[in-house]
């Protein structure tokens, strides 16, 4: 009899088919599993891409260092506007009456009107709907705004004021 024997009974044939199916099942299931895992990995990577970009952007925001002003041109009680970290992100730098330097993005967190520094009350004011923000923290203290202004982190070096990062504190 040759090596490749023909099954002799119907029962042997049935066993052979069962075995073939099992071998194929394992082989094809493994392939399907690997394919689906590859697909899932790619899909997950694509789905999280916006967050990866946002994370990278956030890091870039924190690392950007932009000169805002000469300290000598900003006496106590004065303020100046600038943009940070992009041209569209308008901001305000204030040398407070008490002598502190603080900066925030200056779009009101209510409906985006620009906020101004009011020296007499040492406070940030949004004229649109009479919103007020604490000068030391940027938190809303009066009027419709509910969220604080994004904080611009500052450094002073050789008489120059630099923006070095931005913090959102209400996420």
Residue 74 as a binder of ligand FES (CB under 6 A): the answer is no
Binder to ligand FES among 74, 78, 97, 113 (CB under 6 A)?
Answer: 113
Distance CA 28, CA 88 (A): 54
**Residue 128 binds ligand FES, judged by CB under 6 A:** yes
- Contact segment (CB under 6 A) with ligand FES among 45-53, 67-75, 141-149, 153-161 equals 141-149
Of the candidates 127, 129, 125, 128, the one whose C-alpha atom is nearest the C-alpha of residue 138 is 125
Query: Residue 85 CB, nearest distance to ligand FES (Å)?
Result: 22
Nearest CA to 165 out of 49, 13, 61 is that of: 61
Q: What are phi and psi of 151, to 5 degrees?
A: -85, 130
Distance CA 106, CA 92 (A): 6
126 touches ligand FES by CB under 6 A: yes
CB of 142 or CB of 155, closer to ligand FES: 142
Binder among 26, 37, 42, 111 for ligand FES (CB under 6 A): 111
Euclidean distance between CA atoms 133 and 131, whole angstroms: 7
Q: Give, as ranges, the residues between 79 and 108 that touch ligand FES (CB under 6 A).
A: 108
Residue listed under structure tokens 């900066």: 103
Q: Which residue in this structure is represented by tokens 């730098």?
A: 93
Contact residues toward ligand FES (CB under 6 A) are 108, 110-111, 113, 126, 128-129, 131, 143-145
């Amino acid at each position: 009899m040759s090596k490749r024997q023909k099954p002799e009974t119907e029962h042997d044939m049935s066993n052979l088919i069962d075995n073939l199916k099992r071998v194929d099942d394992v082989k094809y299931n493994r392939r399907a599993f690997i394919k689906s895992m590859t697909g899932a990995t790619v899909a997950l990577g694509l789905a999280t891409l916006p967050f990866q970009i946002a994370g990278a952007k956030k890091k870039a925001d924190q690392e950007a260092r932009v000169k805002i002003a000469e300290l000598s041109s900003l006496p106590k009680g004065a303020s100046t506007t600038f943009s940070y970290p992009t041209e569209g992100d308008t901001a305000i730098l204030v040398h407070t009456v008490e002598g502190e330097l603080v900066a925030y993005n200056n779009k009101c967190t209510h409906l985006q009107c620009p906020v101004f520094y009011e020296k007499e009350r040492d406070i940030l004011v949004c004229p649109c709907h009479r919103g007020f923000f604490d000068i030391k923290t940027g938190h809303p203290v009066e009027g419709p705004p509910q969220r604080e202004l994004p904080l611009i982190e500052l450094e002073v070096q050789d008489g120059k004021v630099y923006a070095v990062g931005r913090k959102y504190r209400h996420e």
